[in-house]
């Protein structure tokens, strides 16, 4: 096949509009799904829940069910759990969370970074397309000659795009590795410059890692330890050069291979010119042809001149071709360098840096985040209530001999998604207030160590700290009295934002007030059941 230009590719695409449209649609759809995966997954879940016969609601309505200790049907709990996972993701986001996200990014040194914008994606696509054209220029003439022209074109362009995608993938990985290595080098440089004799030696990864919610727990730690607690590194805390070396090797191999293939192609053209000089000199001969026969000496001079002109032409073609091949290879290397640079200045290396950026970049302040989160919670609760009512209506048509199930079905009107949220938060607060078995066992095991009596002179010194619990108890009594005063109020009518505002103004502990509200809601649901 001789025509392998970009115009030939466009003509081929227009000639196969259905295939071209399908491929482009699939690629665009795949890109959108990857970008908006969380939204797509939530949408698919909602659709699947509502599908008749085979959907989640239909299957739960047909399957056998029972009630738990709280008077909820297990099918209701299963359905509510699917939405509670998404609700919980945004349920605890507030102004405090906004500030923690900013602190997380600033601690790791990624406060000024952002995710890859749309124009960068378009630019990367254009670079890949340009690389594919260059690879096609090299590969298509050497595709299996036994294939038809169209098959050669398809195979050549597919191979060209595949090589371009491989190059872009290595460039993306190398760019991200460069950013990750910069953080590791920063941490190691600070560690080496730390003159504190108590520093950890050798430098190692901080485990367990620090998340956004607990980003303030290591405020007093070393700066390099705070960075290492938020990224994933190797056991020696050294830069990783695997992807960078791999990218360099791939770029050099492809650039040299492309240059070599073009050089062999040029050599074949020169060989053809030497073996058939008359073909290449035919045009000039026809233009210089004369109706009169020239003498032998003149003909010999003309032949020498034609040979010299052919040699000069071959030299000019060789020089121009070699320069062109070098320029094309340099352009390919430059494209890869640009791709690596774009990958290094966008994106994040922190474990939860992308999440922190998501909750801060599109909001000017914490108040905007809270309003957006309230909207999201309302939407999720509405979606969950819709599917929950569908399930309850289907269950109401069933007959059962289980009295507990029948009672739960008859009292379904008092159970909605908000009631389920209150239940889960009450259970979470109960688990937090109860000591774990491991801590209790540790306390029991540690108690015999305190049994030996201390020397007499130390008894007076040890009696002093006993005043601290008493003082703490006395200091805590006003807060308990204030909380006791709130027990007579109906707190279930207030949202989290309203309670937080009241607690800030009155000086109450928000966690204690929220737990009290959860208990009131649970008792109210129990009385209404």
pLDDT digits (tens, 9 = 90+) for 110-169: 988 888 888 888 888 888 878 777 777 777 666 666 667 667 777 777 888 888 888 889
The closest of 101, 106, 373 to 214, measured between CA atoms, is 101
Domain annotation covers residue 71: no
Q: How sure is the predictor about 296, in pLDDT bands with cuts at 50, 70 and 90?
A: low
Domain annotation covers residue 257: yes
Q: Above 70 in pLDDT, residue 305?
A: no
Work out the percent of the chain whose per-residue pLDDT is above 90: 14
* Pair 387, 79: CB distance under 8 Å: yes
pLDDT score at 276: 65
- For residues 264-291, average pLDDT: 60
Q: How sure is the predictor about 244, in pLDDT bands with cuts at 50, 70 and 90?
A: very high
Q: Where are the alpha helices (DSSP H) in 276-358?
A: 277-288, 296-345, 353-358
Q: Above 90 in pLDDT, residue 179?
A: yes
Tell me if the pTM is above 0.85.
Answer: no
Q: How sure is the predictor about 65, in pLDDT bands with cuts at 50, 70 and 90?
A: confident
Q: Which two tokens stand for residue 32?
A: 């959108």
Dihedral sign, CA of 518, 521, 525, 526?
positive
Domain annotation covers residue 190: yes
Domain annotation covers residue 105: yes
pLDDT score at 95: 76
For the ranges 137-151, 364-378, 437-451, 483-497, the lowest mean pLDDT is seen at 437-451
Sequential DSSP letters for 318-340? HHHHHHHHHHHHHHHHHHHHHHH
Domain annotation covers residue 504: no
Domain annotation covers residue 352: yes
Backbone angles phi, psi at 357, to 5 degrees: -65, -40
- For residues 429-458, average pLDDT: 47
- Work out how many domains the chain is built from and give that number: 1
The closest of 194, 261, 274 to 227, measured between CA atoms, is 194
pLDDT score at 471: 41
Domain annotation covers residue 410: no
pLDDT score at 385: 92
Give the HSE-up count for residue 522: Cα atoms under 13 Å, Cβ half-sphere. 17
pLDDT score at 338: 92
Domain annotation covers residue 258: yes
Q: What is the 3-state secondary structure (H, E, C) of 420-456?
A: HHHHHHHHHHHHHHCCCHHHHHHHHHHHHHHCCCCCH
The 3-state DSSP class for residue 116 equals coil
| Polymer length of the chain | 529
* Pair 177, 171: CB distance under 8 Å: no
Backbone angles phi, psi at 67, to 5 degrees: -110, 150
Q: Which domain holds residue 271?
A: 95-121+175-283+310-358
Higher pLDDT, 81 or 514: 81
The closest of 111, 179, 116, 177 to 356, measured between CA atoms, is 111
Residue whose token pair is 């009155």: 506
Residue whose token pair is 């730690």: 221
* Pair 105, 231: CB distance under 8 Å: no
* Pair 106, 142: CB distance under 8 Å: no
- For residues 79-86, average pLDDT: 89
- For residues 453-476, average pLDDT: 41
Q: Above 90 in pLDDT, residue 323?
A: no
**Taking all residues of the chain, what is their mean pLDDT, rounded to a whole number?**
77
What would the pLDDT profile of 503-523 be if each residue is shown by its tens digit? 776 777 777 788 788 888 777
Higher pLDDT, 145 or 481: 145
* Pair 277, 310: CB distance under 8 Å: yes
Q: How far apart are CA 2 and CA 4, in angstroms?
A: 6
- For residues 53-62, average pLDDT: 88
What would the pLDDT profile of 195-212 be if each residue is shown by its tens digit? 888 888 888 888 778 888
The closest of 45, 43, 79, 46 to 60, measured between CA atoms, is 79
For the ranges 97-101, 376-380, 494-498, the lowest mean pLDDT is seen at 494-498
The closest of 79, 47, 48 to 63, measured between CA atoms, is 79
Q: Above 50 in pLDDT, residue 302?
A: yes
């Amino acid at each position: 096949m001789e025509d392998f230009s970009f115009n030939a590719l466009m003509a081929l695409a227009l000639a196969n509009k259905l295939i071209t449209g399908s491929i482009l649609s699939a690629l665009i759809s795949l890109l959108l799904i990857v970008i908006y995966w969380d939204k797509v997954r939530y949408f698919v879940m909602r659709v699947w829940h509502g599908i008749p016969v085979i959907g989640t609601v239909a299957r739960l309505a047909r399957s056998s069910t029972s009630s738990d200790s709280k008077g909820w049907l297990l099918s209701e709990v299963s359905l509510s759990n699917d939405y509670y996972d998404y609700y919980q993701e945004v349920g605890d986001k507030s102004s405090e969370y906004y500030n923690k996200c900013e602190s997380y990014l600033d601690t790791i040194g990624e406060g000024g970074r952002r995710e890859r914008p749309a124009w960068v994606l378009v630019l990367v696509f254009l670079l890949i397309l340009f690389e594919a054209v260059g690879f096609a220029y090299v590969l298509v003439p050497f595709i299996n000659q036994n294939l038809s022209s169209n098959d050669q074109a398809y195979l050549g362009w597919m191979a060209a795009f595949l090589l371009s995608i491989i190059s872009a993938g290595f460039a993306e990985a190398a760019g991200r590795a460069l950013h990750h290595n910069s953080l590791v080098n920063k941490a190691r440089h600070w560690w080496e410059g730390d003159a504190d004799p108590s520093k950890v030696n050798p430098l190692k990864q901080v485990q367990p890692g620090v998340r956004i919610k607990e980003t303030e727990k290591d405020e007093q730690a070393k700066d390099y330890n705070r960075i290492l607690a938020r990224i994933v590194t190797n056991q020696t805390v050294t830069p990783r050069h695997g992807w960078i070396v791999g990218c360099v090797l791939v770029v050099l191999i492809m650039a040299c291979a492309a240059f070599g293939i073009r050089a062999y192609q040029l050599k074949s053209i020169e060989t053809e010119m030497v073996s058939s000089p008359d073909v290449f000199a035919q045009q000039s001969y026809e233009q210089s042809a004369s109706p009169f026969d020239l003498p032998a000496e003149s003909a010999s001079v003309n032949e020498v001149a034609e040979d010299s002109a052919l040699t000069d032409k071959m030299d000019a073609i060789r020089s121009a071709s070699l320069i062109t091949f070098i320029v094309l290879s340099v352009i390919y290397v430059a494209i890869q360098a640009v791709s690596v640079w774009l990958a290094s200045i966008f994106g994040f290396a922190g474990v939860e840096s992308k999440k922190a950026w998501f909750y801060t970049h599109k909001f000017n302040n914490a108040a905007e985040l809270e309003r957006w989160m309230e909207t999201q919670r309302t939407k999720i609760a509405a979606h969950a209530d819709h599917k929950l009512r569908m399930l309850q209506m289907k269950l109401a048509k069933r007959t059962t001999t289980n009295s507990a199930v029948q009672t739960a079905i008859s009292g379904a009107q008092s159970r909605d998604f908000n009631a389920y949220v209150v239940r889960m938060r009450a259970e979470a607060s109960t688990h937090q207030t109860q000591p774990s078995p491991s801590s209790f066992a540790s306390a029991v095991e540690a108690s015999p160590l305190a049994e030996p009596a201390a020397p007499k002179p130390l008894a007076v010194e040890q009696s002093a700290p006993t005043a601290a619990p008493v003082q703490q108890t006395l200091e805590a009594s006003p807060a308990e009295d204030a909380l006791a005063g709130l027990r007579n109020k109906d707190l279930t009518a207030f949202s989290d934002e309203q309670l937080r505002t009241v607690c800030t103004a009155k000086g109450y502990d928000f966690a204690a007030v929220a737990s009290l509200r959860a208990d009131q809601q649970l008792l109210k649901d129990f009385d209404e059941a």
